[in-house]
Amino acid sequence: MYLQHLTLRDYRNYQSVDTDFSPQINVLIGANAQGKTNLLESVYALALARSHRTNNDRDLIRFGSEFARVDGTVVRSTGPVKLGLVVSKQGKRARINGRDAPRLSQYLGKLNVILFAPEDLNLVKGSPALRRRFIDMEFGQMSAKYLYNLAQYKVTLKQRNAYLKQLKYGQARDTVYLDVLTEQLAQFGAAVAVARAELLANMGQFAGVIHHDITRGGEELQLRYETQIDDQALQSEEATTKDLLAQYQQARSRELDQGTTLVGPHRDDIEFIVNDRNVAVYGSQGQQRTAALAVKLAEIDLMKQETGEYPVLLLDDVLSELDDSRQTHLLKAIQDKVQTFLTTTSLDGIAREIIQAPNVLRVQAGTLEAAGND
């Protein structure tokens, strides 16, 4: 798939944009604070109906305007799809081919994107919450079922935590309702955990091959799913549900004492193992960055395997953070494979011999114009 056309109205610092893109590599060049990242964000928002930079949708609206609008034409193997997102101070509305999408799960997946920014190089050594958010955002694009179960899990978890606090402070006494919430949480949690285990295993296979190539066979990468759930139980949702229920029973007194849920996928993590050692603990910064790069590139092939379409790749000033070897591997991996949007302040230092005939667009003060292949 690729984004053929994009229209912006009053989005961030853009008053109006109406432009076509190459299905290959599009280079957005300009000084800092001109709007390059804003443009990438608009593509991300068109795909996921939310920003990756803010939780407040109003931030997307240009100062002094009532609403922001993003429209795009996505070309898929099955034909073109028109997507639209309108954000106002009253809320937001997502549309598919001119019709409102009643549920987010119906909208997501029409345009799949992978965002790679400098902070993603900290994926390995960052917090578990960062890694959980990473897998949830990516897997949610690949599977509407995963997205649904994750959303239900989060809602039920919030309800259960609230009720545990009521029980802790004597504001409630009925433990039957706690049992009902526990059963629901275990079922949704099992669906999330089993899907994570399967998708992470597939991602690990792709990442291992890529990592082997980047390191020229010198290192082997494995992804390990860190969860409280027994490995054998993860083979089925039914077994995982039973395992979680047993753990909730064991943790019941501690959960009542602390007023919060101590077991479940909201506490899971990923370990990056290089040559049998946890690279987050024992690896160098270079090894950590190589592992992160391999995982981000693995997303491309995993998304193709799961959805049947290659995603759109958004590279937000990430090349400047990579050395020549990793930069070259990244560019070779995406050439003639996925539509790519790449932001940079200068084409100097980029391995341009690898990028064949890029579509270069110059960004200045919220305006976009063709710069040619110079």
**In this structure, are residues 249 and 243 in contact, taking their beta carbons and an 8 Å threshold?**
no
What confidence score (pLDDT) does residue 332 get? 79
∠ Cα 254 255 260 (to 5°) = 140
* pTM higher than 0.85: yes
Q: How far apart are CA 86 and CA 68, in angstroms?
A: 6
Q: In the numeric block, which tokens belong to residue 149? A: 């179960």
Q: Binding-site residues for ATP, please?
A: 30-37
Walk me through the domains of the chain, giving residue ranges and CATH numbers.
1-112+309-373 (3.40.50.300), 122-306 (1.20.1050.90)
∠ Cα 369 112 269 (to 5°) = 125
Q: Binding-site residues, please?
A: 30-37
What confidence score (pLDDT) does residue 352 get? 56
**Checking phi first, is residue 264 left (phi over 0); if not, alpha (psi -120 to 50) or beta?**
left
What confidence score (pLDDT) does residue 208 get? 96
What confidence score (pLDDT) does residue 287 get? 92
In sign, the C-alpha dihedral spanning 42, 48, 54, 58 is: positive
Closest of 235, 213, 200 to residue 326, by C-alpha: 213
Q: How far apart are CA 203 and CA 126, in angstroms?
A: 19
User: Average pLDDT per run of 10 along the chain, which is 374 residues long?
Assistant: 97 96 93 94 95 92 95 96 95 94 87 90 92 92 92 97 96 94 98 97 95 91 96 96 98 96 97 96 91 92 93 90 81 84 79 69 92 60
Return the bridge partners of 370, or none: 361
Q: In the numeric block, which tokens belong to residue 289? A: 């960055």
What confidence score (pLDDT) does residue 97 get? 96
